[in-house]
Amino acid sequence: MPLPLRIPYLIYGYGLGFLWFAYLLVLRLTVSVRVTGDQQLSADSNYIFCQWHESGPLSLQWWAPRLPAYLRQRPQVWMQHPAWYTKPVAVLLSLIGVQRLVLGSTGHNGRRAADELVTYLKGGYSTLVVPDGPSGPARTLRKGVLHMALQSRVPIIPLRVVATRSFRTRSWDRKMQPVPFSTIDVVIGSPIVVTTSTFEATFEALTQALG
């Protein structure tokens, strides 16, 4: 990036990222969270957490100001879209406790980024993946997450995140935005182990578990 653009870029990224974080903190005071299924997670294992793209805003809302306990058991490495305008997202994720970001996405060095993510998974990191991102179709499982699980031998944990009160945006995934005084329900599914012989069966199992 040219030097004259770097300062405005950093102001945009960090400024909007911190404002977003502050907004989440204020809204968090009015939102309650119910988590079920976390007792089946082992502190001795790392995981590939998996949820639909539409539930991202709900998750960000209850992750602030710090990732929940089940995501803090192991260091986190997440894949981040490399576009310049996603810098505020990177800043926000850093603030809530994601230790490392791997830049890449479908059509943007996605294979290289996935390989790097697998290396971190083999080293004991956990990650969170949205298998219908970055551009859909919504709620359609792509097999990339299964390949990562197969190569790294790390189990997948399906997550369902919904709210008692929310509104949906007009984006391709119709994101669910939380509203004040709502309750966010997080359902943590059973670990799914992917092997060569069970690959297709786990594809169906994960699709059903995500809802």
The DSSP annotation for 114-180 comes to HHHHHHHHHTT-BEEE-TTTTT--TT---THHHHHHHHHT--EEEEEEEESSEEE-SSTT--EEE-T
In this prediction, residue 62 carries a pLDDT of 85
Its pTM stands at: 0.94
What value does the mean pLDDT of the chain take? 95
The average pLDDT across 44-71 equals 94
Tally of domains in the chain: 1
Domain that holds residue 175: 3-210
Give residue 133's pLDDT. Answer: 81
pLDDT at 115: 96
Using the predicted structure, report yes or no on whether residue 198 has a pLDDT greater than 90: yes
- Tell me, what's the pLDDT at 120? 98
Mean per-residue pLDDT for 64-74?
93
Other beta carbons less than 10 A from residue 80's beta carbon: 18
Query: Would you say residue 201 has pLDDT above 90?
Result: yes
**What's residue 110's pLDDT?**
85
- 4 compared with 13, residue with greater pLDDT: 13
Percent over 70 (pLDDT), the chain: 100
Q: What is the mean pLDDT of residues 154-161?
A: 98
The strand pairing partners of 187, in sequence order, are 36, 160
Q: Determine the Cα–Cα distance for residues 105 and 64; give it in Å rounded to an integer.
A: 24
- What pLDDT is stored for residue 135 in this prediction? 87
Q: List the one residue out of 203, 209, 198, 211 whose CA is nearest residue 158.
A: 209
Find the mean pLDDT for residues 21-50.
Answer: 95
What number is the average pLDDT over the span 22-36? 95
Q: How far is CA 88 from the centre of its chain?
A: 15
Tokens 């929940």 belong to residue? 68
94-119 pLDDT tens trace: 999 999 999 998 777 888 999 999 99
- List pLDDT tens digits, range 126-154: 999 999 988 889 999 999 999 999 999 99
> 66: burial class by Cβ within 10 Å (0-12, 13-18, 19+)?
exposed
Calculate Rg over the CA atoms of the chain: 17
Distance CA 67, CA 76 (A): 10
The Cα–Cα gap between 165 and 76 comes to 29
Residue 17: which pLDDT band, with cuts at 50, 70 and 90?
Answer: very high
Helix pair angle (3-28, 87-96), 10° resolution: 50
